[in-house]
Structure 1
Amino acid sequence: MQRTLRRALALFVAMLFALTVGTAAAQAATNFANAPQGAHYVKGYGEPVCTLTGLTVSCTGTQIAGVGNTNATVTLSVTSTFTGVCHNPGVNSKIVEPFTESETTTTSSVITSTKNGRLIVPEQSATGTSTEEFLADFSCPNPNWTPEVTGTAISWEYSLTFAGFTDPAILITG
């Protein structure tokens, strides 16, 4: 009875975590106070839009004018969070230890402004870690135990930060 209750509780926590993280809407914010004075989106362009397809996050490109000779760094980080349990082998396959682990894939590049003070930001994409990749590198505290992933969630953060500024001018999270 106690074993069943623990397993049900572990599965409930994993599903609740996946539901709250997995259904979060993307939040986007542009703050040109964190950019060279006069920075603005070029007509016909706006905040990048990021979408999640499978394990891959893709963000549209944009163009920003009025940046002078100021370069920017664009970064996209995709975090895969895995919840699960470790089983003690045997007839009862007891759950002995729950886990929550995260792995992050990050792409980053410096974008150089053009001679006319325009920043052309290309599309960005990054792919998270699959359950199979995670299990290939994960081991339970006891090598005799077997891991089982019971939930996964993907989150991301896109940022564009101008050289000389500490906070991003564009920040998108999902």
Structure 2
Amino acid sequence: MKLSLRRVLALFAALLIAFATGMTAAQAVVDFSNAPSGAHFAKGFSEPVCTITGTTVTCTETRIEGVGNTNATVVLAVTSTISGVCHNPGNDRIVEPFSESVTETSSSDLTSTRNGRLIVPAQTTEGTSTAGFLATFSCPNPNWRPEVTSNVLTYVYTLTFAGFTEPAIEITG
């Protein structure tokens, strides 16, 4: 794959803009009004922290006490938004841009232990890699060649207690 200096500079500028606008920062909201009365983080624990390594998102474990016999569901959804262009191989001109989003989701049903403690294990979900996307994508014309120009990963982590409609913990990044 040939990368011109102009394309490298354009990608570098886009990354600088992304960092400058804070697109990489995670937002966490903990609202125990969406949990059983008395719910709180166990001593030594707090909201999960999510990190991205390549296309993998991992959120740390936590423990919540004071939930009685109320169970919960934790969900981690990772969305890869992949953009690129299709090239005409005869003259290598760009003939059609594309942008697609692919979401991978994992979830766990959690059961409170005796004494009203909820142990929330670490959560990991793999997003879609550029190679994985290209393995199943084809341009509208089978003679055209696809080129991915960006693969932006975002995620949403939620922990919702049974009987509640809104999450007690929501982390987006």
Sort the TM-score into its range (normalised by shorter chain). 0.7 to 0.9
Task: Please list every run of 5 or more consecutive structure 2 residues that lacks an aligned counterpart in the other structure.
Answer: 1-5
CA distance in 1, matches of 2:172, 2:66: 25
Q: TM-score normalized by structure 2?
A: 0.87
CA distance in 1, matches of 2:16, 2:152: 5
The answer on 1:27 being equivalent to 2:27 is yes
Which residue of structure 2 aligns with residue 5 of structure 1? none
The answer on 1:45 being equivalent to 2:27 is no
Which residue of structure 1 aligns with residue 3 of structure 2? none
Task: Please list every run of 5 or more consecutive structure 1 residues that lacks an aligned counterpart in the other structure.
Answer: 1-7
CA spacing shift, 1:134–1:164, aligned 2, 3 Å: same
Offset at 1:77? 1.1
CA spacing shift, 1:167–1:52, aligned 2, 3 Å: same
Contact 1:18 / 1:152 at 8 angstroms: preserved in 2?
no
Offset at 1:102? 1.3
* CA deviations over 1:114-165 (Å, ceiling 9, x no partner): 1211100011111111111100011112222111001111111111000111
Secondary structure of the 1:100 match is strand
Secondary structure of the 2:28 match is strand
Q: TM-score normalized by structure 1?
A: 0.86
Question: Percent identity over the alignment?
Answer: 64
Q: How many residues align?
A: 164
Which residue of structure 2 aligns with residue 151 of structure 1? 150
- State the Cα RMSD in Å: 2.3
Offset at 1:24? 2.1
Contact 1:78 / 1:104 at 8 angstroms: preserved in 2?
yes
Offset at 1:16? 3.8
Which residue of structure 2 aligns with residue 4 of structure 1? none
* Amino acid in structure 2 at the alignment position of 1:35: A
CA distance in 2, matches of 1:162, 1:154: 27
Dislocated runs of 4+, deviation >3 Å: 15-23
Q: How does 1:1-174 map to 2 (within 5 A)?
A: 16=14, 20=18, 23-90=23-90, 92-174=91-173
Contact 1:18 / 1:153 at 8 angstroms: preserved in 2?
no
* CA deviations over 1:30-76 (Å, ceiling 9, x no partner): 00011111111111110000111111111110110111111000011
